[in-house]
Chains A and B, each alone.
Chain A
Amino acid sequence: MSLLDVVDLDAGYGDLQVLSGVDLHVDDGEYVTIVGPNGAGKSTVMKTIVGIATCLGGSVEYQGTDISGLSPEEVVRERIGYVPQTDNVFPTLTVEENLRLGAYVLDEMPTDRKRDVYNRFPALAGRTDEDAGSLSGGQQQMLAMGCALMLDPDVLLLDEPSAGLAPDLVDDMFDRIDEINEAGTTILMVEQNAKEALRRCDRGYVLANGENRYEDDGDSLLNDEDVRREFLGG
């Protein structure tokens, strides 16, 4: 049994079904990446796990218990952290307050982790009392990541964490994700920077049209001719 099991999942928004029969699993401590074309349903998988999108059939099991009916706030309490693809900071809250809410479900404010975040993203450190809405696109992305780190989650769901980051930070971000994973956090990530992501992960899934297409370890996918041609742009 894996840590996170998505079994024959049908999901969508309201009546609109986006996913049909998606299967995936993530073992404890694993680093798994989902890639696929735009609109494939990658984000929808994430959203269904955290309880934002509607599960229409199948199940999502976490540590053997079905969590598909839980609300987002209940899922977070299971220490499943999630960084959404867009709109992932509170624009009228300050940077500091955003981080504080990252640790909302914890009993105590993890001050050392906050220091850690500021060290990791110095661009944020100088602007602790400014509204997050005034940050540049990339800075907001860093803050969103920082918020998720505040939770020190068991499983971390990342929806395109590198989008909009400058190359140095992209590498940095991936390094950081590696570190987090090495420290024992299980990672499920969606990326369009597919080559880098697949290179670094343990295992990958390719999703298209709301269905599983390929599943293999990262390097094999990366070297698969079909995958390259269809999804990685040659």
Chain B
Amino acid sequence: MGLLQEIIFGLVTGSYIAIAAIGFTLIYGIVNMINFAYGEYISIGAFIGFLAANTLPGPLPVAVVVAMIGGGVVSIILARGFFTPINHTGPVPMLLTSIGLGIVLRNGLRLAGGRSARYFETETSTFQFDAIPDLPVGPVDLLGDFFVTSEQLVVVGSAVAVFASIHLLLTRTDVGIAMRAMGDDESLARVRGIDTQLIRDSVWVLAGVLAGLAGVLMAVQTNVSADTGFSHILQILSAAILGGAGSPYGAILGAYVIGLVLAVSTAFLPSSMTGLSSAVAFVILIAVLLVKPSGIAGTEVREA
């Protein structure tokens, strides 16, 4: 199959990561902490979506909305219980707390939800595009036949919708600008009259909503279990940081870089080395950072 198909696969994988990475990076940039429990937020979103899909009437999108709302609610409750009280202490204690919280949530989910994975009942249709001309360059075919599934379209579509909404939110609304301002300098933000607690709460809710969405999408493609989100946290973290600290645009770029590298390296590595595809993704990640030390979308800050 051609490169085109691989790129499609890469875009899909990137989209899953991107949605979650935005949520992760918002917390990173604005609340100023690395939230290692974010994978569990995703798992919780998946569980809520799963419960909704099996108890509520109505199609899957209803469950998605419920998962997003639920994710937001859970996120704010956890933030209030665990992170808000130690907000003033700075990033390191918060990071450690998130590790502890992650352990608690993951095992809590295991305890409540049991060990075996559950699955969403979904129908997928596949659209085959045949008779696309080949465009060979060396051993690589740039075009060639390809297919997309309805699920993939939904995932990419959701990602694009999320990007657009986040962009508008952060640049066009007072709340969004206030969020970014808080990431810069919290005490100045307060002096400007920004209710920082409210803004922080909104960031937590937003991050939870995105985790809910990412959770259901990932779960539909894979399964619902205590590890649904945890197994992706490294990719999410990498995408977010690769993009440039706290920049949602960077996170999106980072996510697609990782998604594409995963797909393309699986396709083109020598046979005995296909298991290395994520290692390759990490190598590329390091390479990118060496070329652009401020991250993909990072700007160099004035030093003196």
**Touching chains A and B, CB distance < 8 Å:** yes
Over the window 80-119 of chain A, the binary record of Cβ atoms lying under 8 Å from chain B Cβ atoms (1 yes, 0 no) is: 0010100111111100010011101100000000000000
What distance in Å separates the Cβ of A106 from its nearest Cβ neighbour in chain B?
9
Q: Which of A70-78, A180-188, A224-232 binds B?
A: A70-78
Q: Is there contact, CB below 8 Å, between A93 and B193?
A: no
* The residue from B183, B195, B302 contacting A73, defined by CB atoms under 8 A apart: B195
Residue of A nearest to B183 (CB): A92
The interface size of chain A toward B, counting residues with CB under 8 Å, comes to: 28
Residues of A close to B193: CB separation below 8 A = 72-73, 76-77, 104-105, 151
What distance in Å separates the Cβ of A206 from its nearest Cβ neighbour in chain B?
26
Given A73-B196, A133-B302, A134-B302; A90-B181 close (CB under 8 Å): yes
Q: Is there contact, CB below 8 Å, between B177 and A100?
A: yes
Task: Tell me if B's interface is mostly helix, strand, loop or mixed.
Answer: helix
Q: B134 near A: Cβ within 8 Å?
A: no
Q: B121 near A: Cβ within 8 Å?
A: no
Q: B123 near A: Cβ within 8 Å?
A: no
Interface size class of B (residues with CB under 8 A): 20 to 34
Q: Is there contact, CB below 8 Å, between A101 and B184?
A: no
Residues on B lying within 8 angstroms of A by beta carbon are 174, 177-178, 180-181, 183-185, 187-196, 299, 301-302
Residues on A lying within 8 angstroms of B by beta carbon are 50-52, 71-73, 76-77, 82, 84, 87-93, 97, 100-102, 104-105, 131, 133-134, 147, 151
Residues of B close to A76: CB separation below 8 A = 191-193
* The residue from A51, A93, A133 contacting B177, defined by CB atoms under 8 A apart: A93
Q: Is there contact, CB below 8 Å, between A104 and B192?
A: yes
What distance in Å separates the Cβ of A48 from its nearest Cβ neighbour in chain B?
13
Q: Is there contact, CB below 8 Å, between A88 and B188?
A: yes
Q: Is there contact, CB below 8 Å, between A92 and B184?
A: yes
